[in-house]
């Protein structure tokens, strides 16, 4: 902390101290065997040391707490607290004392004073105390500006101030990845890394979705009807360690059928992260609104609402296709089914599906069979809009596992 003190002699003294949690006192135990020259001397000294635990003197941790000896580190999301004291060091009464505390950041100047009214008088050896709090929301250089103005007995108005400069560091590194499912579901993977030098207790990591989505956390495993965290019972994040959190977002029912709206939604929500460090020192971060790349469905979106996981070789099976008009115009659609080397469609190709309004959809049951074993891709569908004479082809719509119902020799 840098302090620039005015050279003029003043009747009042200003002292500023940062308020932080204490730390556990540690000592370095020194031991030896009884046959060594010191004998039991080291043991006696440790038993007489008031900082050691009785009966466990060789442990480094003691029963005492240590107040911070320096300014320490301040991390984004923590609450900066400071004690400000103005003491009358003179032998005369001082009047109209006004104490102001401002915090200057790279973008703004904040007034942290609890009261902006002046104190009428301050007698010798008396003081004015104040405690300020501020949740740090910016990284980089911060300057605490403490200013004091007062009037002497002779009516002279005096003024001085002190500057306390400190750096706000970044505690966490947050990276996000989005995965768009075949349906309108969106999966969010959040990677959170502790980039401080001390462990963190992760109290809460949650996703606050935007107004169009509901969110489901996928960070618990159900065992014996109880949900257990995938990270275990003790949710500690060691320095430089990283965790992955997974969330599933589904459109709310009132928006799920509006394909045009969901298609253009890029704002997903924001992460809310709460942690604790030394002796319960609490910190909280909220990310800005997370945005994804809008999926490119084109004018028509074709997806599968129903498809079996496993089917038998050369046996027909049913699927249900969902065709959604993502454009802003009405379409008149014709469906063509084209066979591939492994996939064969059952039914009439080139049938009329009728008109489809903007944002509307239709469910279409189809029958198909596979002539090749293994993992096969459902392909070969073609939609034509007769209004604009525009054709849309769909390959690799989904995959299905084809097995032989007989023994390997019979197949």
Q: What is the DSSP string of 18-71?
A: E----EEEE-------TTSTTTTHHHHHHHH-TTSBTTBTTSSEEEEEE--SS-
Q: In this structure, are 279 and 192 located in the same domain?
A: yes
Where is 173: in which H helix or E strand? strand 172-180
State the maximum Cα–Cα separation within the chain, in Å, rounded to a whole number: 114
Q: In this structure, are 185 and 285 located in the same domain?
A: yes
Q: In this structure, are 144 and 214 located in the same domain?
A: no
Measure the N-to-C terminal CA separation of the chain; round to a whole number of Å. 80
Q: What is the CATH number of the domain that holds 360?
A: 2.60.40.10
Q: Give me the number of domains the chain comprises.
A: 3
Structure-token match 């370095």, residue found: 28
Q: In this structure, are 91 and 111 located in the same domain?
A: yes
387-397 pLDDT, tens digit per residue, is 888 888 888 88
pLDDT averaged over every residue in the chain: 84
Q: What is the pLDDT of residue 195?
A: 93
Residue 87 has pLDDT above 50, yes or no: yes
Residue 256 has pLDDT above 70, yes or no: no
Is 123 inside a domain boundary? yes
Residue 262 has pLDDT above 70, yes or no: no
Q: What is the pLDDT of residue 4?
A: 47
Band of residue 67 on the pLDDT scale cut at 50, 70, 90 = confident
Global pTM reads 0.65
Q: In this structure, are 130 and 193 located in the same domain?
A: no
Residue 282 has pLDDT above 70, yes or no: yes
Q: What is the pLDDT of residue 411?
A: 42
Instruction: Give the range of the structural domain holding residue 118, as residue numbers without chain letter.
Output: 10-17+67-167
Q: What is the pLDDT of residue 1?
A: 45
């Amino acid at each position: 902390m840098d302090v620039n003190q005015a050279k003029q002699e003043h009747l009042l003294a200003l002292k500023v101290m940062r308020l932080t949690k204490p730390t556990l006192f540690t000592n370095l135990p020194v031991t030896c065997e009884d046959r060594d020259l010191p004998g039991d001397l080291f043991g006696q000294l440790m038993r007489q040391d008031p900082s050691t635990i009785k009966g466990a003197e060789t442990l480094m941790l003691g029963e005492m707490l240590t107040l911070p000896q320096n300014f320490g580190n301040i991390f984004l999301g923590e609450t900066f607290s400071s004690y400000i004291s103005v003491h009358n060091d003179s032998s005369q009464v001082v009047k109209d004392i006004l104490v102001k505390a401002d915090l200057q950041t790279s973008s703004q100047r904040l007034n942290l004073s609890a009261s902006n009214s002046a104190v009428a008088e301050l007698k010798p050896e008396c003081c004015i105390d104040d405690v300020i709090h501020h949740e740090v929301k910016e990284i980089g250089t911060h300057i605490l500006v403490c200013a004091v103005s007062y009037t002497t007995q002779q009516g002279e108005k005096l003024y001085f101030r002190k500057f306390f400069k400190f750096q706000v560091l970044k505690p966490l590194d947050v990276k996000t990845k989005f995965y768009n499912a075949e349906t309108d579901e969106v999966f969010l993977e959040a990677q959170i890394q502790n980039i401080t030098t001390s462990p963190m207790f992760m109290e809460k990591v949650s996703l606050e979705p935007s107004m169009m989505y509901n969110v489901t956390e996928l960070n618990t495993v159900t065992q014996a009807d109880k949900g257990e965290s995938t990270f275990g019972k003790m949710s500690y994040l060691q320095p430089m360690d990283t965790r992955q959190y997974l969330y599933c977002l589904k459109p709310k029912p009132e928006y799920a059928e509006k394909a045009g709206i969901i298609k253009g939604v890029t704002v997903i929500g924001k992460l809310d992260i709460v942690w604790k460090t030394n002796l319960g020192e609490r910190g909280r971060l909220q990310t800005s609104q997370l945005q994804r790349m809008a999926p490119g469905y084109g004018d028509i979106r074709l997806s599968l609402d129903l498809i079996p996981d496993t089917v038998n070789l050369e046996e027909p099976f049913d699927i249900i296709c969902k065709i959604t008009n993502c454009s802003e115009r009405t379409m008149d659609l014709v469906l063509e089914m084209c066979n591939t080397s492994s996939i064969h469609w059952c039914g009439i190709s080139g049938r009329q599906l009728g008109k489809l309004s903007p944002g509307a959809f239709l469910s279409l049951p189809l029958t198909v069979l596979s002539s090749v074993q293994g993992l096969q891709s459902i392909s070969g569908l073609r939609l034509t809009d007769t209004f604009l004479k525009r054709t849309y082809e769909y390959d690799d719509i989904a995959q299905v596992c084809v097995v032989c119902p007989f023994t390997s020799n019979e197949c």
